[in-house]
Structure 1
Amino acid sequence: MLPINLRRIRDEKMNQLRKGQNAYAESEELVRLMKRAIEKEKMPVQCDETDSGYWFIPLTTSKTN
């Protein structure tokens, strides 16, 4: 069995957020990696904690003219 590469999974989920899609993480380590990457990129994301894991929801900035 192959080991799970959490950094690769983090990168895939960060790409989802960049595209404006929600991302979900269950494991504590993946959540930690995600929060660290989000903070590093200063990405506007809402993090919702549930009993089973975390939802990362990208915040969109709307411009009104």
Structure 2
Amino acid sequence: MIINRKELARAKVKELQNGFSAFAETKEVVDLIKKEIEKLKLDVHEDVTDVGSWFIPQKS
């Protein structure tokens, strides 16, 4: 099974837009998510751990 990293990142950003947290394990996916967050100007907190990054939407 081939995983498209861009589609994975878009799905995780959609979760953020719907108010849910998202987790990414690889630097590539984390970078893609960050890029989309900036583009959409989402208010999201990033919690970096040893195994990946959690993205947590902030309530306005």
Partner residue, 2:35: 36
* Unpaired stretches in structure 1, ≥5 consecutive residues: none
Q: TM-score, normalised by structure 1?
A: 0.88
- Report the number of matched residues: 60
**Secondary structure class of the residue paired with 1:15:** helix
Q: Note the C-alpha offset of 1:3.
A: 2.2
Partner residue, 1:14: 13
Q: Cα deviations across residues 5-34 of structure 1 (Å, max 9, x unaligned)?
A: 011111110110011000000001000000
Instruction: Pick the structure with greater CA Rg.
Output: 1
One-letter amino acid of the counterpart of residue 27, structure 1:
T
Q: Cα deviations across residues 25-58 of structure 1 (Å, max 9, x unaligned)?
A: 0001000000000001110000000010000000
**Secondary structure class of the residue paired with 1:40:** helix
Q: TM-score, normalised by structure 2?
A: 0.95
Structure 1 stretches of 4+ with a deviation exceeding 4 A read none
* Unpaired stretches in structure 2, ≥5 consecutive residues: none
Pairwise CA RMSD: 0.7
